[in-house]
Amino acid sequence: MEENHVNNTALNFDNGQLSYCGQDCRKIPPALQKMYGTKVKCLDLSYNCIETLKGLEQFSRLEELILDNNKLGDAVSFPYLSNLKTLSLNNNEIMDLEELVNKISKHFPALTYLSLLSNKACPNQLSDVDKDDSDYQRYRYFVIYMLPNLRFLDSRRVSSAERKEAATRGEFMRVRRPPTHEYTTPFTPSSLQPKPALRPLPLDLGSLGKHRGAYGKCSYKYTGKHSEGNRFILNSDL
């Protein structure tokens, strides 16, 4: 799909909710920014190939942003959006959890709902036999510590017990990656000596298929060419 053109049959705008899914866009089409930027409160750009969020700053009233199943990585930059409450980044290419939550903390001060499932930064025991519930729980403590206003993380509400535990232990739950130089050391006989095992990042979670975001109140219907039906569970108690 040409970035400067919009497939009107795939575009759905209703009552402040804009959906433009499954169009293989690598960036937010400028036409969407120009036509709808100041009108949109909920933006769904799922099932594209988005690598950059350039132009997102035009959606200054945004409260919900759904970017599931794209190609956003650690280099992604976010604009400052003071009203954003919901952010879904399921099934992207994010590896560095600490860098991501630092960006979110600085740019989305009102955020209360976040989902990062099926990213390497989110350890999930269902896709990696080396991970278990404790790995995922430590991840939750760290994210909740870094983003204390969160009410919902991934597919679960943040409990009062988790919030209390995150306040005391979350700072120490960072996922550390070995420095790059550990992989670029020139070959020497000593390099043949056994070294302590390094804890790997979670394996690619893509084998799980298309994860269904399980939070938020999104009533609009996705009609793109990769339709998976309603990806959201309505939580009447949110």
pLDDT digits (tens, 9 = 90+) for 56-71: 999 999 999 999 999 9
Span 116-162, pLDDT tens digits = 999 999 987 654 557 677 889 999 999 999 999 999 999 899 999 99
Residues composing the chain: 238
pLDDT, average across residues 92-119: 96
pTM: predicted TM-score of the whole model, two decimal places: 0.73
Distance CA 14, CA 40 (A): 9
Q: Which CATH architecture has domain 11-178+185-208?
A: Alpha-Beta Horseshoe (3.80)
Amino acid 214: pLDDT = 41
Per DSSP, the residues of 67-115 read: --SS---TT------TT--EEE--SS----HHHHHHHHHHH-TT--EEE
Angle between helices 97-107 and 133-146 (to 10 degrees): 30
| pLDDT of res. 132 | 72
Kindly state the DSSP code that residue 33 receives in the 8-state scheme. H
**CA-based max dimension of the chain:** 67
Tell me the C-alpha to C-alpha distance, in Å, between residue 192 and each of 185, 187, 189, 198.
Answer: 12, 9, 6, 16
CB contact at 8 A, 78 and 100:
no
Mean of pLDDT over the chain: 79
pLDDT at 174: 66
